[in-house]
Structure 1
């Protein structure tokens, strides 16, 4: 079971289910427009069994089945949300969290210092016009923390 916390468009949970169709995933999201996008994407991408939970986090997480893996893609600086996720994660389960803001990155650095795990920064560049020439322009970097629970 995967928890996709702060699911956005649902891409992580959807890819999880497409890669392993007999598994389960729950997408947690509070924003109505994003929930509508997840609903659309799960139908268009062939994973109608993706469960969607709407509401505020971490309250929506409470009482859900214990996950084998958790992806936190939204509000990574929310300490209570992290603690709720970490407590629920099964032993040997994997937690992955992404941040694009400085506040989120700072929190991930602190979590890595406290819990260990891997911390990486991922950068992507794309082709762009610069006058009559072409150049590679960077997109927003993503800082990712990964940790397997003992």
Structure 2
């Protein structure tokens, strides 16, 4: 070490202790789609609360196929499970997560920071469909929550979609299933959409008195609607 231009030497006792204080990091870096539920900040116990569970979330990601050029609305984002993974794996897709519930908004913001997706995940405080008029037009929309206005949200989202844009929606309650089926009937009959639908019924392994058993989760119905031209041929539909 040089002090005033002269070499100086310092001696230390051979027995010494160095203490380093590090900053707490709350970020989590996943390596593959399908983040465990427990890794998300939620409004209830870890892995519980208003978050789309991993098995269903993976199916939604597969249906939406997020890419760099996408503008995606996540309507009724809850704590942000789907929005976070869309932003992570979309590699630059712009995701707008719409939520109005204060506690879920707090969780959504916490997950935005935890997974470091601030650059392409925008949190929109408000209720659909009204708040949607403030957003850039989307080519992909996921509806996970509707606050009782599902048909209005679906119709608004559908009207603003470009050709080959898509809407994916989930339903757990029978009323929501019926509304999705009503929308399905109206869009399928005029041949302006390609529709895919299925139901997921997952049972997760847990233990009871030291024994393995499978606990059924609530079945979730998923619909995917893809907008196509009225003149599209059956061959084109098969490749959507």
User: Is TM > 0.5 for Structure 1 vs Structure 2?
Assistant: yes
Residues 51-66 of structure 1 mapped to structure 2, 5 A cutoff: 51-66=122-137
Whose strand fraction is larger, Structure 1's or Structure 2's?
1
| 1:125 CA drift (Å) | 0.1
Contact 2:168 2:222 in 1 (8 A): yes
Matched, 1:88 2:166: no
Q: Secondary structure at the match of 2:138?
A: coil
Q: CA RMSD in A?
A: 1.7
Contact 2:151 2:183 in 1 (8 A): no
Contact 2:76 2:99 in 1 (8 A): yes
| 1:77 CA drift (Å) | 5.5
| 1:63 CA drift (Å) | 3.6
Contact 1:123 1:142 in 2 (8 A): yes
Between the two structures, name the one with larger relative contact order (CA 8 Å, sep ≥ 6): 1
Partner of 1:136: 214
- The structure whose Rg is larger is 2
Partner of 2:140: 69
- Structure 1 stretches lacking a partner, 5+ long: none
- TM-score after normalising by structure 2: 0.58
Matched, 1:149 2:204: no
- Structure 2 stretches lacking a partner, 5+ long: 1-70, 189-194, 229-240
Give deviations 1:80-129, integer Å, cap 9, x for gaps. 12111111222211110001111111111222222231121001001244
Give deviations 1:11-47, integer Å, cap 9, x for gaps. 2221111112322110011111111111000100010
Matched, 1:36 2:106: yes
Aligned residues: 150
Matched, 1:114 2:186: yes
Q: Secondary structure at the match of 1:62?
A: helix
